[in-house]
Structure 1
Amino acid sequence: MPFENLREYMDALDAAGMLKRVKTKVSVDLEMAEILRRVMYARGPALLFEDVDNYSMRVLGNAFGSIERMKLALQMEEFEEIGEKITSLARMEMPSSLLGKIRMLPKLSDIADTAPKIVGKGPVNEVYEGEDYASLLSLPALKCWPKDAGRFITFGLVLTKNPETGIRNLGVYRMQILDDKHAIMHWQIHKRGAQHYLMNKEKGKGIEVAVIIGADPATVFSAVAPVPEGLDKYLFAGIVRSKGLRLVKCNSIDLEVPAEAEIVLEGYVDPNDLRLEGPFGDHVGYYSEQEPYPVFNLKGIMRRDDPIYLTTVVGKPVLEDAYIGYVIERAFLPLIRMFHPEVVDFAMPAAGWFQGLAIVSIRKRYPAQAKKVMLGLWGLGQLALTKMIIVVDDDVDVHNMDEVIWAVTARCNPARDILVLDNMPTDTLDPAASSPNIGSKIGIDATSKWKEEGAYYTPELAEVDEQTKALVDRRWSEYFR
């Protein structure tokens, strides 16, 4: 059964020995972030801080910081299952015959079971603080690095609606707290939340926003995941967890939020109020530059009576976001294969902060196919921001960097097999970009080359013959008596 809320998941972590309770008083000003980073770099457990200096809320961090924790969080062993569900829906066709439609009913029922449902109230309704009482300063938001511009919300799930279609989006964007009622929304231009904001701005309107802090694991994952355009994030969360979310309506804005959430900030983003955000240390490992971003205005806070504040920390990889990124990598492989059937496997190494490097293996059928795959992936959703793509043959394990490096050095002729594209979209936080959001890309064709691709001969791999392999396999134990 899926976890209904963050607390059920936290209890499961505790029962599995994956949670450590910190009873010492800890400050949110640099100290807590440094503890979380050290534990994360050491591959340690999730941490629940039970005594937070100057705050009544408990703080949970590193909740998703291992593959084992992600398997527990999403209640699955193979993350490809998520992508397989999505591709199955995408390929579904309604039959024309009555008998075919009757046979389709069980599948349609499965889809209905994963759709979100609005209910009257839930635990998040236990306390409501209106505009006169609500304060962002009540949140134990962290200051993560010494030169950060201040404290910021690191793991808020920012909910917006497409003003034309009504489709809901969840995204994780940092929010720099300015005072009790204002925070700067770091909406990178490529993100869907920013798109909704700009669509409203063009009409001279602000946009209503809810910020969910502490939801069930599937909803947290869905906020981070780059789902296909047009798919409601709440529906995606329901597909991931095989059960629809229970939602409640906000008090001061026209949005719906998970009934089991810990904290919900209600407000709006004003298109006419831009302020300099940052600098902040980020997931690339550098401080970002100051840039103007719009301001979130708080109207109210819904929360549980004793809320748990979910947080994460950023910095040079590998930290917690690496493991969420790995699930995204595995989950979206079936979708990549749907558009590019020649793809065998796909990896985005954590050390490359995921947007930095992708490695793809293909089953090659024609000359220059590797370049076709590179260009296709750069045109596929958030992969447009990937800086480097390496394409290898299907005899190379994309998760084994020794094999990948061997393929690059043995199968790539740089003058012939490297593709460089300039003035391309890049991650806003890319510290090597030539200008904000603009940079270059490199594609490395590390597949075996054919004569049609300029190879003067086709080298033959030196491989053990089957007879010798079988002989050594049979006698292996004898050699080490």
Structure 2
Amino acid sequence: MRIEKEVSPEYEIPAVLQHIEARGRRPVLIFENVRNLNGTRSGLPVVINLFGARERLADALGTTVARLPLDYVAREKPLAPVVVDRAAAPVKQVVRTGADADLYELPVLTHHEMDLGPYLTSPSVWVRDLETGWTNCGILRVYVSGPRQMVVNFNIARHTFHYFQKYKAAKRDVPIVLVMGHHPAFYLGAQTKLLADEPHIIGGVMGEPLELAPSETWGSDIMVPAAADIVVEAEMSHSQLEIEGPFGEYTQYYGGQKLSPVAQVRAITRRKDAMYLDIMPGRADHLLLDAPMVEAYLYNRLKDVVPGVTAVHMPVSGTARLHAYIQMRKTNDGEPRTAIASALSSDYRLKHVVVVDEDVNIFDDAQVLWAIATRSQWDRDLLVLPGMMGTTLDPSADDILTAKGGIDATRPIDPHQFAMKLCIPEAVLSRVRLEDYLTPEGLRRL
């Protein structure tokens, strides 16, 4: 959906997206005329909500929503990048270095009322490990604190943090590359949780080698994605820290302020027809990008413990981090509790788990709630684990300590102990086609 009206980079685009989401719609929005941080027309369209629907993530990998987590893992294998000449790299079509590399020329958005200011929310931040030479490509938030200065946020659970500690110990500043805009599969690959040389994993997920070109600042020592929309090259200080935050988090609450490393911009390169990609914090655009990977890892862990597990879903209603729905074909009545305990100890962010039978669609919140309402008695089916490690971003937690829990919303193994679910004869359901009953206009209204 393209919007031609001129808009401000401060709050206006997030407000439009929120109004559209309130109507139950999840389109990709392209704002054609956005002012930059200098107050003039940027010339770069802003793309937002690219990752706001599972169907689009599935399309990026050529699969279905149901198969997305498993097909992601199947692709999460290393495929070596290939190097192309600068002249063949679209990201080198416009090059700005030194004082000409001005972040304020970009339409960087301010998203929420209490945010510290404008944030880059889509960059895959490339940091090379001092020891192995591997590159981490995590998607981080970056505060734009000046036309050529940024403050980079990363937490201790990130590989970026561990790489940074090595530079800090060596008293060396960190070369970083910020990649904004690429094929959606690039971003899915950048979300890998494997400890690996991540450009290789990105290529595997994309299904083709990632094309790289020499950077402007470090040449062939530090490579950049040749097909990116925008690349920012910077040096992150190992010692200089500045305030970063508040900022809207995935829990849809603000995270607090902290001291984070300062980075100085050395170069900005881009395509002539570049688009500026923004990922809307705290909304589906942000939450879903990570969900298929978490679901896949959780599924594989649970499958080893409870072979009857058939699917795992992290719903947006639970921030795609704090809640998990587990579907299973159980062989005994103890398996749901085993799955709950295993899941809650597999991801520190996961807080609540619901286990359901195969006849419940875990991609439909209403069906899961129906199963809880009709298949659980909490004096016997509720499992509570107090004093576990959680996320400090959960405002209800006691710092890092949280109470986790799960609900067994499955029927007993013995079918004679439970009522029969309503059903329409399958022969009738398969025979009925809505096209035979509704007019074309009626079908469109559906």
Q: Same fold (TM over 0.5)?
A: yes
The structure 1 residue matched to 2:315, chosen from 349, 360, 373, is 349
| Aligned-pair CA distance for 1:470 | 7.5
- Say if 2:75 and 2:207, in contact at 8 Å, map to a contact too: no
SS of the residue 2:138 aligns to: strand
Counterpart of 2:397 in 1: which secondary structure? Answer: coil
CA shift for structure 1 position 458: 8.4
Deviation at 1:347, TM superposition (A): 1.1
Q: Which amino acid aligns with 1:118?
A: V
8 Å Cα contact 2:186/2:202 also seen in 1: yes
Where does 1:364-443 land on structure 2 (aligned, <5 Å)?
Answer: 364-366=330-332, 368-380=334-346, 383-435=347-399, 437-443=400-406
One-letter code aligned to 1:74:
L
Distance 1:342 1:295, change over 3 A: farther
Following superposition, the deviation at residue 354 of structure 1 comes to 0.7
Match of 1:269 among 236, 246, 251: 236
- The residue aligned with 1:462 is 419
Given the alignment of the two structures, is residue 23 of structure 1 paired with residue 1 of structure 2, yes or no?
Answer: no
Q: Superposed, which structure 2 residues align to 1:295-334 within 5 Å? A: 295-315=262-282, 317=283, 319-325=284-290, 327-328=292-293
Deviations 1:51-104 (A, max 9, x none): 2221232222222333443344334345626634745888xxxxxxxxxxxxxx
C-alpha root-mean-square deviation of aligned residues, in Å? 3.4
| 1:260 corresponding residue in structure 2 | 227
Letter in 2 for 1:51: N
The verdict on how the C-alpha distance between 1:403 and 1:166 changes in structure 2, with shifts beyond 3 A counting, is same
Distance change (3 Å), C-alpha of 1:374 and 1:208: farther
Scaled by the length of structure 1, the TM-score of the pair is 0.77
Structure 2 contact 302–343 (Cα < 8 Å) conserved: no
For residue 236 of structure 1, give the secondary structure of its aligned residue in structure 2. helix
Is 1:247–2:212 an aligned residue pair?
yes
Contact 1:84 1:334 in 2 (8 A): no
Tell me the CA shift for residue 350 of structure 1.
Answer: 0.8
Q: 1:234 matched to which residue of 2?
A: 199
Alpha-carbon spacing, 1:420–1:52, altered in 2? closer, same or farther (3 Å): same
Alignment check: 8 A CA contact 2:119 2:142 kept: yes
Whether 2:20 is the aligned partner of 1:33: answer no
1:4-403 alignment, distance < 5 Å: 19-20=1-2, 22-42=3-23, 43-53=25-35, 54=40, 55-77=42-64, 80=67, 83-84=70-71, 86-87=73-74, 114-121=79-86, 122-223=89-190, 225=191, 227-253=192-218, 254-315=221-282, 317=283, 319-325=284-290, 327-328=292-293, 335-336=300-301, 339-340=304-305, 341-366=307-332, 368-380=334-346, 383-403=347-367
Q: Which runs of 5+ in 2 are unaligned?
A: 438-446
3-state SS in 1 of match to 2:98 = coil
Q: Would the aligned equivalents of 1:263 and 1:304 in 2 still touch at CA under 8 Å? A: yes
Map Cα deviations across residues 351-407 of structure 1 (whole Å, 9 max, x no partner). Answer: 111111001123334564333323433444xx3311212223334332333442344
Q: Distance in 2 between matches of 1:157 and 1:230?
A: 16
Q: Work out whether residues 329 and 346 of structure 1, in 8 Å CA contact, stay in contact via their aligned partners in 2.
A: no
8 Å CA contact 1:66–1:320 kept in 2: the answer is yes
In structure 2, the CA distance between the partners of 1:346 and 1:85, relative to structure 1 (3 Å rule), is: closer
Describe the SS at the equivalent of 1:51. Answer: coil
Write the letter of the residue equivalent to 1:60: V
Distance in 1 (CA, whole Å) between partners of 2:429 and 2:29 is 46
Q: Work out whether residues 169 and 232 of structure 1, in 8 Å CA contact, stay in contact via their aligned partners in 2.
A: yes
Conserved 8 A contact 1:40-1:320: no
| 473 and 235 in structure 1: CA distance in 2 versus 1, 3 angstrom threshold | closer
Query: Is this contact kept in 1: 2:68–2:292, CA < 8 A?
Result: no
Residue type of the partner of 2:420? Answer: E
Contact 1:250 1:257 in 2 (8 A): yes
The one-letter code sitting in structure 1 at the alignment partner of 2:53 is S
SS of the residue corresponding to residue 122 of structure 2 reads coil
Distance in 2, Cα, partners of 1:61 & 1:470: 42
The SS at the match of 1:32 is: helix
Equivalent pair of 1:130/1:301 in contact (CA under 8 Å): yes
Report the identity percentage: 27
Q: CA separation in 2, counterparts of 1:66 and 1:85?
A: 16
**1:278 Cα offset (Å):** 1.4
Distance 1:58 1:474 in 2: 46
Label 1:178 to 1:469 Cα distance change in 2 as closer, same or farther (>3 A): closer
Question: Aligned-pair distance for 1:141?
Answer: 0.6
Letter of the 2:405 partner, please give it. I
Summarize the Cα distance change of 1:184–1:424 in structure 2 as closer, same or farther, 3 Å threshold. farther
The worse-fitting range, judged by mean Cα deviation, of 122-131 and 78-87 is 78-87
**Alpha carbons of structure 1 residues 432 and 473: separation in structure 2 relative to 1, 3 Å:** closer
